[in-house]
Amino acid sequence: MLLNLAYGAVGAVRKAVLAAALLLALPAWAEPVNLAALGDSLTQGYGLPPEEGFAPQLEAWLRDNGHDVSITNAGVSGDTTAGGLSRVGWTLTPEIRGMIVALGGNDMLRGIDPANSRENLRGILVAAREAGVEVLLVGIQAPGNYGPDYKAAFDNMYPELAEEFGTLHADNFFAGLAVEGDPSAAATYLQPDGLHPNAAGVSKIVAALGPKVALLLDRIDRD
């Protein structure tokens, strides 16, 4: 009887040691990778229930596609690139490993000089580089009503900054809403204000942008 108890105790110890060894053998990135989505009302989820906004839908899409990720919603309605620059420091908390930057729409709506917007975005990218945080820079396309020079300067600042800093780049936040041969079809996916996507629109935006965010995750050093 005592011998059986001794063997039982040894077996229990062996199992405990084995379990501890397995836990130590797990990769260091077993916990979710934390991303921040720095943006304006498009990122914040204006006019939508929290669970239907951009950050929650993107997080769900990534998880459905095999990525263990947590996304902090750092979108502020009405924010400009200057506003994003002013708060990027407290957005880049120690646990943040990557950042989606989607700013500039409100600069364009206010007719702000693209040179100023460019410098603000550059400041955000500098802060991310100093923090060792990988970035996906998401552009937005200016309409033609400000003239061709404004449109060119605004549209080009995103790919040029992405090249300068070696960041990932997505051409247009609204790319997922484009319907070939029917420009008016995008209205189906917008709220009544004609500016912000509805829940179905966010879903299409996320489906188009998700693979770029997956590439961002692949860039992150998980050691």
Residues labelled catalytic:
41, 193, 196
CA–CA distance, 61 with 53 (Å, rounded to integer) = 12
As given in the structure block, the two tokens for residue 152 are: 């060119």
- As given in the structure block, the two tokens for residue 159 are 């790919």
> Which tokens hold the place of 157?
């600042």
User: Rounded CA gap, 34 and 72, in Å?
Assistant: 7
Sheet architecture: strand order including 134-138: 69-75, 33-39, 96-102, 134-138, 168-170
The dihedral through the CA atoms of 62, 68, 70, 71 has a sign that is: negative
- Helical residues (DSSP H) of the chain, grouped into ranges: 2-25, 41-44, 54-64, 81-91, 105-109, 114-130, 148-165, 199-219
